[in-house]
A and B are shown apart, each in its own frame.
Chain A
Amino acid sequence: MSEELNDNGSGEQVTMRLWRGDDTGGEFAEYVMPAQEGEVVLDVIHRVQATKAPDLACRWNCKAGKCGSCSAEINGRPALMCMTRMDTLPPGETVTVAPMRTFPILRDLVTDVSYNYEVAKRIPPFNPRPKTEDEEEAGGYRMQQIDVERSQEFRKCIECYLCQDVCHVIRDHEENKTAFAGPRFFARSAELEMHPLDVNDRRELLQQEQGLGKCNITKCCTEVCPEHIKITDNAIIPLKERAVDAKYDPVAWLGRKILNRSKRAPSEAAATSPATGPAAVQPAVAVHGIPVALDAADATTNGSSPRPSDSGTSAAESSAAEPSETDPSSTDQSPTEDAPTG
C-alpha cells in the first residue's frame, strides 16, 4: 500500500518539517513526501502518518474547514491545516508545521486548548427577554433579518482558536491568561450583547474580569480568522465603546476617533438583567479531557518548556511590548506590523 498511498505520477517531492515532541521538549523532523495534485497540508500529514510516522499526533475532524480542530502554525502563520492548499505555499520550499504556540503542547502538533473551554464557562450565558403575546401566538420570537445578522457573523466562529493563538496579550504573556478572555470570547460576548433577545449586561465583566482593555486592536485576530469574521472592527471595538460607561478606555476613544463610530443608543444599551455578576454566572462545570494548566502557579509556561521556535519563519514573533491598557500610542503601530506574515 505504501506505493499506492504515495503514488503521484509527477515525480515531484515536498519536504515537510514537522514538530515532534511533547511538554518536555522536542525538535523538528523532516519527511520527504511525493507531491500530489490539489492536496492540503493535512493530506500530506496524513500520508506521513500512514507511511512514515504512525504515531505523529495531529488533531483533526472534518477536513472541510467546518470544525476548527486542525489549527497549527504553517510556515509560521496560524492556519487550518485542512484549508491550506499545498500549492499556495512557496513551491520547492520546505513546509514547516508547528503546534499553536500560545497553548501548552500535548504532543507533536496537538496542543492543550483547555484554557478556551475554561474562559467559555465564565461568559454569562444567553438570557432572553420573555416572548410577547403576539410571539406566543405565532409560536416564536419575531426578529428581523437585519437585526440577527450582526450576531450571526460571530456565530460563524468554528472555535479553531487561531485568534487566541495569534493574540499577543497571551501569546507572549502566559501570566495574562488568568485575566484575559481573548478575541474568540470577545466575539462571543459581542454576539450576546448584540443578540436581539438577550438582556444580560456583560460590560463590567468584560472590563474587570476579561481584560477587554488589554486588547490594543492590532487586528492580528481578524487576519487569521478562517471564517473571515471581523473580530476587531465588529466585535472588540464596539464592545470597547459600550464598556466606556463602566471604565474610561483611551484605546476605545482613539478607535472612535479613527473609525468615526458612534456610541450605541442609550435605549439600546440599557437592557440589563437581574443577576449578572461574575460570581452568579459561573457554572460549576468541569471540562475534563486535557490537563488544565490555567492556574498561573502550576502552569507549564512557554518559557520553561522548549517550544518549537523558528525565528526565520515564525509569525507573531514580534517583540510587541506588553500591550498597554492606558497608552493610546500603542495603537499607532500599523496593524500589519504585528500581523503574521506567511
Chain B
Amino acid sequence: MTDYETHDFDVIIVGAGGAGLRAAIEARSQGLRTALVCKSLLGKAHTVMAEGGVAAALGNVYSEDNWKVHFRDTMRGGKMLNNWRMAQLHAQESPDRVRELEDWGALFDRTEDGLILQRDFGGHRYARLAHVGDRTGLELIRTLQQKAVADGIEVFMEVKVLRLLADADGAVSGVVGYWRPTGEFVVFTAKAVVIATGGVGKSWMYTSNSWESTGDGHAMSLWAGADVIDMECIQFHPTGMVWPLSVRGILVTEGVRGDGGVLRNSDGKRFMFDYIPPMFAAETADTEEEGDKWYDDHTAGRRPPELLPRDEVARSINSEVKAGRGSPHGGVFLDIATRRTAEDIRRRLPSMYHQFKELAGVDITAEPMEVGPTCHYIMGGVRVDADSAATTVPGLFAAGEVAGGMHGANRLGGNSLSDLLVFGRRAGIGASEFASERTGSVTVDEGQVAAAIDAAVAPFEVESGENPYEIHHELQATMQSLVGIIRTGSELEEAVEKLDKLEERATRVSVSGGPRYNPGWNLTTDLPSMLTVSRLTAQGALNRKESRGGHTRDDYPKPVAEMGLVNFVQRIPGDPDADGVGGTPSIRSITVDPEPIPVLPDDLKELFEEET
C-alpha cells in the first residue's frame, strides 16, 4: 500500500463553505483542536455564489416580522415536509447569527436609520433578507474565513476526502483523503467529524453549482452507515441563464424579482398570474396593478406572483416553454429594464449587470434576460438530530446543504445562508461535546485506509479503460433528461437502469498522467459520490408517488396527504460488499423506506390554523 501522513485533531470538519467555517469557529471557541479540510482553496466554496441574501427575522424593515412568521413561511415553502424542530431553531436563531457576522466585520447594506437592510424574496412574508448588493455569499464566506484565520484554525486546502473511517465500535474515527497538488495520501484522526460538503448539482448537466458539488458528504455518510432522507427533493432555481449554452445554468439571483423584475413569455405577458396555486392564493396579488403597489408598501396590496416559492415559479416557466411561449433560447424573459432605472439596477444588482454584460453581451438595464430553471439545491440529505446536528452514526455530524430535513420539499431563497450559520454553529457545538466526552484513544483501522487508497489508485493500473469525463458527461445527460424538474415513473426506471450500467463502466475507468494535480484522476474519485447521490435521487423519486415541492411527478401530479407525513429514508443495510465504484458499496445495495416525519407540536400547529 502507498504511504500516507497522519494528523490528529479533536474535531475535523470536511468542507470549508459557510457551514464548515461556522462549525470550525464554534469548535475552536470551545477550546478543541480543530481543523478544516477542503477540496479547493479556502474561500472558494460554493457559498461564495449565493447572491440575494441571508434570511433572518430581524424586523429592521417590517417590525411585524418575528421568528414565528419566518417559521411558518419556511414550513409552508417546504410543503410541511420539513423537520419542524430544525425550522424552529433556524427561525429563532438566525437573527443572532446574522448580527454576529457584523461583529466579525461583515458590512451589510443599511436601512436609513443605520441598521441592516432587508430585501424581499419569494415565499417570505416580509422583507427579510440581509444582503450586500447581490454578493451576499461572498460577504458571508469572507467574514467567516477571516474570522477562522484570526482564530488560528488550521486549514488543509485542496484535499479530497475519500472515505470516513470508523473504529471497532462503529464510531467515526477520522477520514482518509489525498492532497490534490501532490496526489499524496493523508489520514486525519478525530474524535468527531463534521460533514459540511454542500450539494450534489454536478450530476446534472445544467446547474448553478460549482465544480465541487459532487455529493461527497452525502455519499460518504451513506457508505459509513448513516441514514439519508428525501433525496428526491431537488430545487430547480427558476432563473438560471440559458444562453450562451456554455453558461447555461449560471444563477440569476431571485433578488431581481425581489427588486421588481417580472417574468414574461414570448407574447410579453406576465404569465405568473396564471399559475397561482390555491395554497398561496389568499396572499398573492391577482392583478398587475395590485402586485406593483406592493413593492413600495406591503400593506397596499398582496405580493406579486413572481415572488411565489421557487418550485412554483420553476414549474410555471417550464410549462410556458413547453406550451411554445418561450424565449428564442428555450427560456422565458426576466425583465427589470422596464421596471427600474438603469442606475438602480446597477446599484442593487451589480453582479448580475456584469454577468450578463460580460458573458452574454446583454445589457440588463436595457434588455430583458433570458432565464430558465437550473439545478440549484438539494433539500434532502443526511438525517440529523435538529439540536445537535448528529447523524445516525456516532461521532458523525452534518450541517448545511448536506444535511436533510430543514427545508422539507422546497427551500425558500435566503434560508440556505441562515441554515448554514445556525446549524454550522450547532454542529460545532455537537461535535465538540461528543469529542470532549469521548473516552479512550481514537483508533484507525489500517485495513479501511488501505482499501480506500488502493481503490483510489486503481485507475492508474487500468489500460485503455473508460474515460472518466465521458462517464460524467453521460451521467449528467441521464440525470438532466430522466431525473429533471418534471419526472415520470417509466423515465425514473430507465434512469436507474442507466445508473447501473454507468456504475459498471465506472469500475473500469483509466487515467493518464501521474497523481500530481491530475483532474482526470480527481474525477475518478468523484464519480463514486456522484453515482451514489444520483441513485439516491432517482430511487427516492420513484418511491415518492406524488408531487410536492421540488419533486414533481407527471404521473402523480398532486400532493398525496399520507406521503406528506413520511420521509423516504435510504441507507445501506448490514455489511455490504465493497464491489461498487472505487471500492464503495454498490449503488444497488441502497434500500429505501418510508418513515414518519416528526410530528408538529400543537402550539406550533396553531400558527398554521390562524393564517390562510
Contact = CB atoms under 8 A, between A and B. Distances in A.
B341 interface: no
Given A49-B519, A128-B103, A290-B157, A61 B42 contact: no
B457 to A, nearest CB: 14
Interface string B98-124: 010011110111100111110000000
B516 A22 contact: yes
Interface string A108-139: 10101100010011000110100000000011
A65 B159 CA distance: 23
Nearest to B158: A289
Contacts of B354: 65, 228
Contacts of B517: 57, 106-108, 110
A142 B114 contact: yes
Interface string A140-180: 11111100100110011111000000000000000000000
Contacts of B506: none
A125 B147 CA distance: 8
B150 interface: yes
A67 B210 contact: yes
Given A61-B44, A61-B211, A66-B138, A126 B153 contact: no
B210 A63 contact: yes
A81 B519 CA distance: 17
B313 interface: no
Interface string B47-60: 01100000000100
Contact of B244 (A37, A62, A110, A113): A37
A286 interface: yes
A69 B246 contact: no
A55 B44 contact: no
Contacts of B104: 126
B244 to A, nearest CB: 2
B103 A143 contact: no
B169 to A, nearest CB: 30
Most A C-beta atoms less than 10 A away, residue of B114, B158, B467, B469: B114
Interface in A91-117: 106-108, 110, 112-113, 117
A289 B157 contact: yes
A283 B152 contact: yes
A86 to B, nearest CB: 9
Interface in A27-59: 36-40, 43, 49-51, 54-59
Nearest to A121: B149
A283 B153 CA distance: 9
A335 B43 CA distance: 31
B149 A54 contact: no
B538 interface: no
Given A55-B513, A126-B104, A140-B102, A49 B469 contact: yes
Given A66-B48, A144-B110, A195-B105, A287 B210 contact: no
A61 B40 contact: yes
A232 to B, nearest CB: 20
A128 B146 CA distance: 14
B110 A143 contact: yes
B53 to A, nearest CB: 15
B72 interface: no
Contacts of A112: 181
Nearest to A5: B473
Chain A interface residue bracket vs B: 35 or more
Interface string B501-543: 0000000000111101111110000000000000000000000
Contacts of A125: 105, 146-147, 149-150
Contact of A155 (B139, B212, B359, B360): B139
Interface residues of B, number: 80
A139 B516 contact: no
Nearest to A108: B517
A154 B138 CA distance: 12
Contacts of B158: 289-290
B155 interface: yes
Nearest to B153: A285
Contacts of A192: 105
B44 A289 contact: no
A287 B469 CA distance: 31
Given A85-B358, A155-B132, A139 B95 contact: yes
A145 to B, nearest CB: 4
Contact of B511 (A54, A62, A65, A156): A54
A177 B155 CA distance: 22
A69 B44 CA distance: 7
B271 interface: no
A288 interface: yes
Contacts of B513: 54-55
A54 B154 contact: no
Given A49-B520, A85-B359, A285-B149, A291 B181 contact: yes
Given A54-B467, A291-B181, A63 B250 contact: yes
Contact of A65 (B58, B142, B152, B355): B355
A1 interface: yes
Given A56-B519, A57-B517, A65-B355, A144 B156 contact: no
Contacts of A108: 517
A61 B212 contact: yes
A117 B473 contact: no
B321 interface: no
Contacts of A83: 358-359
Interface of A: 1-2, 4-5, 22, 36-40, 43, 49-51, 54-69, 83, 85, 106-108, 110, 112-113, 117, 120-121, 125-126, 128, 138-145, 148, 151-152, 155-159, 192, 195, 197-198, 228, 283-291
Given A40-B247, A285-B154, 13 more contacts: A1-B467, A65-B354, A83-B359, A117-B157, A126-B105, A126-B150, A128-B103, A142-B113, A143-B107, A152-B133, A155-B132, A287-B157, A289-B158
5 contacts: A43-B246, A69-B41, A140-B116, A288-B157, A291-B181
Interface of B: 40-46, 48-49, 58, 95, 99, 102-105, 107-110, 113-117, 132-133, 135, 137-139, 142, 146-147, 149-159, 179, 181-182, 210-212, 243-247, 250-251, 351, 354-355, 358-360, 467-470, 473-474, 511-514, 516-521
Interchain residue pairs A-B with the least CB separation, the first 6: A38-B244, A55-B513, A289-B157, A54-B520, A142-B114, A126-B105
